[in-house]
Structure 1
Amino acid sequence: MASTPIQPYGDLDSTLRAMAGRAEGFGRLAIGGLHGPLYLVTSLSDDGPGSLREGCRRKEPLWIVFEISGTINLSSYLSVSSHKTIDGRGQRIKLTGKGLRLKECENIIICNLEFEGGRGHDVDGIQIKPNSRNIWIDRCSLRDYDDGLIDITRQSTDITISRCYFAQHDKTMLIGANPSHVGDRCIRVTIHHCFFDGTRQRHPRVRFGKVHLYNNYIRNWEVYAICASVEAQIYSQCNIYEAGTKKKAFEFYTEKAEDKEDQESGFIISEGDMLLNGVQPCMPPESKEETMFHPSEYYPTWTMEAATDSLREVIQLCTGWQSICRPVDNML
């Protein structure tokens, strides 16, 4: 008999702020706007009173919620200041035109939003750089941007991405942008229970950083599933890799760090992964497992189950924007 799929964060919709500090993985310390008042978004305008941009620019902690549903067309990146929660539960909010920028900030939670149709050079759905930390992105749907959907670079670290849905895109997620940015050795990211649905590549592509992937479903890529470039360490646990026409799941790109003499690729450990439809993991010829991190060095527990058909079904149903009620705020 198949086991009952595990639902991470099963109790976090009980009250509005129950999410604070409850992410799994590297972003587990993100509390968002826990200690601030509610900010109500009452306008779908790009800026002005009651707008999302007005709330995000304020310096004090805020738990931002929406009183309306609809599309916010951003004419420029929307910068998010520290100690903010952008909580889309209870409404259906789509951001388009540009995306969110998390620059030199900390303690950010982004939950239950849609991102679609970002246009322009270097326009990402969510751009995290530089020097940002303690970030949790949960239950967001992202598709069709001109650059990345989520990019994490320039010494940004301690980030968790969970239960997100990615579709209709090429270069999905970049972690570490350039081999000259050796400061990105500090990057640490957890990605779990996400669904990469036919996106072409970068699920993610990593330079320098440590990335823990578990219980994700990646299907029908067109270049590769995940890529380890210079010094990257990717720990892949109990993920489901389902190939389409391209069978190579793991790619290794050789680059030279600015402060080293020799070129090298990164490393991938695959543990308990399900490989479907003729997937070729394509591990490197020389194993260097002794250089790899293990997630337990950084956090004691995480909610993980075996990669099974039932997990695949759950991920398809429970990722991305969800039609759920906004929980009651017990701090009011």
Structure 2
Amino acid sequence: MASVPASIHISRHLAFSLLLVLLCNTGLATRTRRSSGMNVIDRCWRRSPNWARNRQQLATCSVGFAGKMTNNMGRGVRHYTVTDPSDDPIKPRQGTLRYGATLIRGKVWITFRRDMQIKLKKPLLVSSFTAIDGRGANVHIARGACLMLYRVRDVIIHGLRIHHCQKPIPGPVIGPGSKMMELGTSGGDAIALVKATKVWIDHNTLYRCQDGLLDVTRGSTDVTISNNWFRDHDKVMLLGHDDGYVRDKRMRVTVIFNHFGPNCIQRMPRVRHGYAHIANNFYQGWGDYAIGGSMNPSIKSQANLFIAPKSGSKSVTWRFGGEGSGRSWNWRSVNDIFINGAQFEQTGYSGSVRPNYNRQQRFVVGDAKAVRSFTRSSGALRCSTRSRC
């Protein structure tokens, strides 16, 4: 950032905004106060009435294993506006979401001119260094194929309503760099990460899809999943491809400030092989379990609010297979709150499940008593470009 001459007067509001950005950039933001109603990510940008003029500030606000998403901002970023809700998976027209997310080379920040519902005919293969920013519009991706991040990095998905996703018919689709790809029988997920890294999924509303709502698989890592609202779904979130895919041992995912429920059954998340830091989330009941896993994953559950259903399973955790039925696995609960008889089965040793964040990744986990406040605005925000979000 260029130095500011001493002769230029900086208003109190601007100085305060710069301070917030600095705190978010350094990861030294103080503990979120219960009275603020905002978590540390939201406080970094939502208080500014000029957020729409400086959309790329959002990239400085991410925390967790995705770290700061500053590769999505700065020099060389092209701003692209979606004006056309139609979709052609082979020859996308300029103005459509697929054109902006696949055919523009380099860094691109995508916004939407107006409210729209987009029915994708094939999965949207998002390019690296892309931010899809739905703030200021009511954007639904629904009743068709949905989003896939395949072999990409540095991607932000923010402010979308993704629901009723369906498995597409196999066939060709345009991918990043104008490369034609042949997709087989798969899909049905709202968002699928396959061999992707450094991805931030924030403030989206996801529900009622044919398969899962969010999958992080096949070696994907350094992912932050924050401020989302997951509801009305069976198998919500899968971290790790299958029991035999050992490359997922390097997977690191942060799951923070999300609202799970109502009517979520299981996988919030289910983890295989890798590591998950699950903090300050609101669990509004479950059907089978909340957090599950197989193949010896490590899980730190920290300052979450678990409200067990009035009837049915009271167990937060579920383990499948493993020597001694998972008794040696490192699953720890730290400062969680349990209501209606919710129970977390801890195993392993607490010192071995620290997230070991670096400076750009770390954040202060808030008090579990404030989780309702932290997650009150989970999901896609109803924002006006002329006022604060």
Q: Same fold (TM over 0.5)?
A: yes
Residue in structure 2 matching 1:154, options 186, 210, 218: 218
Cα offset for 1:270? 0.3
From 367, 371, 374, the equivalent of 1:306 is: 367
Asked if structure 1 preserves the Cα contact closer than 8 Å seen for 2:38 and 2:373, the reply is: no
Superposition pairs of residues 14-93 of structure 1, within 5 angstroms: 14=51, 15-31=54-70, 33-34=72-73, 35-47=76-88, 48-58=93-103, 59-93=105-139
CA contact (8 A) 1:152 1:176 kept: yes
CA spacing shift, 1:136–1:32, aligned 2, 3 Å: farther
Matched AA of 1:184: D
User: 1:304: how far off?
Assistant: 2.1
Counterpart amino acid of 2:148?
Answer: R
Residue 6 of structure 1: how far off its partner (Å): 4.9
User: Does the CA contact (< 8 Å) of 1:20 and 1:30 recur in 2?
Assistant: yes
Is 1:7 equivalent to 2:45 in the alignment? no
Question: How many angstroms apart in 2 are the aligned matches of 1:327 and 1:81?
Answer: 30
Distance 1:140 1:118, change over 3 A: same
- Counterpart of 1:173 in structure 2 is 237
Post-superposition Cα deviations, 1:105-129, rounded to whole Å, max 9, x if no partner, equal 0110111000010112531000000
- Which range moves more in the overlay, 30-39 or 120-129? 30-39
Give the equivalent residue in structure 1 for 2:279.
214
**2:156 corresponding residue in structure 1:** 109
Change (3 A) 1:140 1:3: closer
Counterpart residue number, 1:259: none
1:251 aligns with one of 294, 300, 318: 318
Letter in 2 for 1:7: N
Separation (CA, whole Å) in 2 of partners of 1:101 and 1:3: 36
Please give the per-residue CA displacement for 1:279-307, whole angstroms capped at 9, x wherever unaligned. Answer: 121334xx3445x3312354563132111
Counterpart-to-counterpart distance in 2, 1:45 and 1:172:
28
Question: Match of 1:191, SS?
Answer: strand
Return the alpha-carbon distance in structure 1 between the equivalents of residues 275 and 299 of structure 2: 6
Q: Is 1:217–1:239's contact at 8 Å kept on the other side of the alignment? A: yes
Aligned counterparts of 2:248 and 2:58: Cα–Cα separation in 1: 28
2:149 is equivalent to residue 99 of structure 1: no
1:204-224 CA distance string (max 9 Å, x none): 000011111110001220010
TM-score normalised by structure 2 residue count: 0.77
Alignment of 1:115-134 (within 5 A): 115-120=162-167, 122-130=187-195, 132-134=196-198
2:356 maps to 1:296: yes
Contact 2:62 2:68 in 1 (8 A): yes
Task: Write 1 or 2 for the structure with the bigger share of helix.
Answer: 2
Q: Deviations over 1:252-303 (max 9, x none)?
A: 11248xxxxx98574311000000001121334xx3445x331235456313
Amino acid at match of 1:28: G
Matched residues in 2 for 1:32 and 1:201: separation? 34
**In structure 2, how many angstroms separate the alpha carbons of the residues matched to 1:187 and 1:327?**
40
Amino acid paired to 2:320 = Y
* Contact 2:44–2:61 (Cα < 8 Å) also in 1: no
Residue 199 of structure 1 is matched in structure 2 by 264
Q: Is the 8 A contact 2:336 2:368 kept in 1?
A: yes
Tell which structure's C-alpha radius of gyration is larger. 2
Query: Matches of 1:199 and 1:32 in 2, distance apart?
Result: 34
CA distance in 2, matches of 1:180, 1:157: 17
1:218 aligned partner, one-letter code: Y
Q: Are 2:227 and 1:163 equivalent residues in the alignment?
A: yes
> Partners of 1:263 and 1:304 in 2: how far apart?
30
CA distance 1:267–1:237, change in 2 (3 Å): same
Query: Amino acid of the residue matched to residue 322 of structure 1?
Result: L
The residue matched to 2:368 in structure 1 has which SS?
coil
Give, as a single letter, the amino acid of the residue that structure 1 aligns with 2:363: W
Secondary structure (helix, strand or coil) at the match of 1:118 reads coil
State the secondary structure of the residue aligned to 2:164: strand
Give the superposition deviation at 1:227.
Answer: 0.8
1:152-200 CA deviation, whole Å, 9 max, x = no partner?
0011111101100000100000000211100111111101000001310
Cα distance between partner residues in 2 of 1:65 and 1:122: 25
Structure 2: segments with no counterpart, 5+ residues: 1-32, 168-185
Report the TM-score when normalising by structure 1: 0.89
Counterpart-to-counterpart distance in 2, 1:150 and 1:143 = 10
Q: Is the 8 A contact 2:64 2:357 kept in 1?
A: no
1:188 and 2:252 aligned: yes
Aligned-CA RMSD value: 2.1
Distance in 2 separating the partners of 1:297 and 1:80? 27
Kept in 2: contact 1:143–1:166 (CA 8 A): yes
Aligned counterparts of 2:325 and 2:346: Cα–Cα separation in 1: 18
Task: Tell me the CA shift for residue 22 of structure 1.
Answer: 2.8
